[in-house]
Amino acid sequence: MSFKFDENLGQSDFSAASLKQKAYLALQKSILDLEFIPGQLLRKNDLCKRFGISRTPLSEAIALLVQDGLVEVVPQAGTYVARFSMEDLREGAFIREAIEVAAITLLAEIITEPQLIELRRNLRLQRAFIDDGDIQGFYAMDAQFHAILLNATGYKRLNRVADNAWMNVNRVRRLLLPIKGRLEATFREHKKIYNALEQKNPAKAGKMLKEHLGQLMTFVVPLEQEHPEYFA
């Protein structure tokens, strides 16, 4: 991932806080996209050159990533991309399921036609990315589909809370989507969720979403066996 600062920004934008935030977001994205794989050593000098910043804002950005559970600092050894923890993944999946099932049960009663249209458009894009074999494009539409559901409830902080709980789960999902047939299965599950919403059926919507999210751990367990180097 390339990282450039906008030369047209004012001086105030180049404060330490601004540089820290830019480095944090860029490095977070690289880790979530698996550009930096679990267990990989992060060399601070290389990252400073890459982002064009000093060690202080970089260290502050890394401290935020430690709080996210994405980075681990080992004294006298170095800074590493955190490996996956099955306990953390199960907890993240549990929290996300609790939030989304509650949200969609509410949403099924209040969803509007414009919101249904937005979901239909998203599903059409999902289909297009599958047909094109574009896994990254599908991944983005998948994330957007769930964001639409949460945002449609009207609760402004809901999506952010869910994303924070889901952060490491999102990382591991990047390893799952290339599994043969998983994109098609995910798309079908999304369509069932949409159909339940269109029918304004809270019980069915909650059931479809719970089944959809419940698929995750069934794929993660064998993944741990196939790639033990990625797990703590």
Same domain, 73 and 120: no
Same domain, 93 and 169: yes
First CA to last CA across the chain, in angstroms? 26
Note the pLDDT tens digit of each residue in 43-57. Answer: 999 999 998 889 999
Q: Kindly report which listed range (18-32, 65-79, 85-99, 168-182) carries the lowest average pLDDT score.
A: 168-182
Same domain, 103 and 190: yes
* Per-residue confidence (pLDDT) for residue 67, from 0 to 100: 93
Same domain, 136 and 71: no
Same domain, 60 and 97: no
Number of domains the chain contains: 2
| Entry pTM | 0.83
**2, part of any domain:** no
Say if CB 33 and CB 40 are below 8 A apart.
Answer: no
pLDDT of 213 above 70: yes
State the Cα–Cα distance between residues 73 and 62, nearest whole angstrom.
9
pLDDT of 217 above 70: yes
The predicted model gives 2-11 an average pLDDT of 43
Say if CB 168 and CB 84 are below 8 A apart.
Answer: yes
**158, part of any domain:** yes
Same domain, 123 and 140: yes
Q: Which two tokens stand for residue 54?
A: 């000093």
Same domain, 154 and 64: no
Which residue range forms the structural domain that includes residue 35?
Answer: 11-81
DSSP state at residue 157: T
CATH of the domain at 48: 1.10.10.10
69: enclosing H helix or E strand:
none
- Looking at 63, 81, 99, which one is the last position of a domain? 81
Same domain, 52 and 95: no
**Structure confidence at residue 16 as a pLDDT band (50, 70, 90):** low
DSSP state at residue 82: P
- Looking at 81, 107, 141, which one is the last position of a domain? 81
DSSP state at residue 1: -
* Per-residue confidence (pLDDT) for residue 46, from 0 to 100: 95
* Per-residue confidence (pLDDT) for residue 15, from 0 to 100: 63
**150, part of any domain:** yes
Which of 215, 131, 120 shows the shortest CA–CA distance to 173? 215
Same domain, 96 and 56: no
**Structure confidence at residue 176 as a pLDDT band (50, 70, 90):** confident
**1, part of any domain:** no
Same domain, 46 and 112: no
The predicted model gives 118-144 an average pLDDT of 96
Same domain, 76 and 95: no
CATH of the domain at 212: 1.20.120.530
Long-range contacts formed by 17-26: CB under 8 A, 24+ apart: 19/53, 19/54, 19/57, 20/57, 20/58, 20/60, 20/61, 20/64, 21/61, 22/51, 22/53, 23/47, 23/51, 23/53, 23/57, 23/58, 23/61, 24/60, 24/61, 24/64, 24/65, 26/1, 26/51
Greatest distance between any 2 Cα atoms in the chain: 58
Same domain, 71 and 98: no
**42, part of any domain:** yes
**28, part of any domain:** yes
* Per-residue confidence (pLDDT) for residue 13, from 0 to 100: 47
